[in-house]
Amino acid sequence: MHCCIFPHTHNPAPIYGFDVIAGKNKITGCFHDYSKAGDANHPMMEWFADEVAKLEWRKQRALPEWATNIFSTSMVAAANVSDEEELDQITAMAKRTVAHYLASVSETNNTVENTTEAQNYYAQNQKCNPHTPRVMVSLGLSEEDVQVFIQDCLFPEIA
């Protein structure tokens, strides 16, 4: 599952991102962040940092350069989730953070002129993730179709 919510380009709010990679019996990876797309000190970024600091199982993890370029230091990463209690915590966290995001994002509409460059930077760096195309190809998609999907559908850039 991949979910990104981008604010309007006249809004310095962060980008909401939530990804779950799962096999038959467990979640092999879960990643969640409010990523900077305008204002690194945006109130939503601070709220997210406070919210995820409460998670006891949250572990810092070394990230590749493309990820450190865009993800906040509060980014949540969980791996090998097979315990139902941890899964419940992840689900509850995602529900809380998306509800907060959707309720709060409009508060800073029309407070900046344009965040297109920052949003495109996010998309460009996401396209550097080597795991996304590898997983899609392993599912039977052609490399050409995967590249079109990643470039034009998953992380399109604003023209």
CATH code where residue 41 lies: 3.40.1500.20
CB 136 within 8 A of CB 146: yes
CA distance 146 to 136: 7
CA distance 41 to 110: 17
State which residues form the domain around 59: 2-110
pLDDT in tens, the chain (159 residues): 899 999 999 999 999 999 998 877 788 888 999 999 888 899 999 999 999 998 866 566 678 999 999 999 999 988 888 778 888 888 999 999 999 999 999 999 999 999 999 999 999 999 999 989 998 899 899 999 999 999 999 999 998
Specify the number of domains making up the chain: 1
Is 153 inside a domain boundary? no
CB count in 10 Å sphere of residue 92: 10
Amino acid identity of residue 123, one-letter, is A
Residues 6+ positions from 51 with CB-CB distance below 8 Å: 93, 96, 97, 100
Is 88 inside a domain boundary? yes
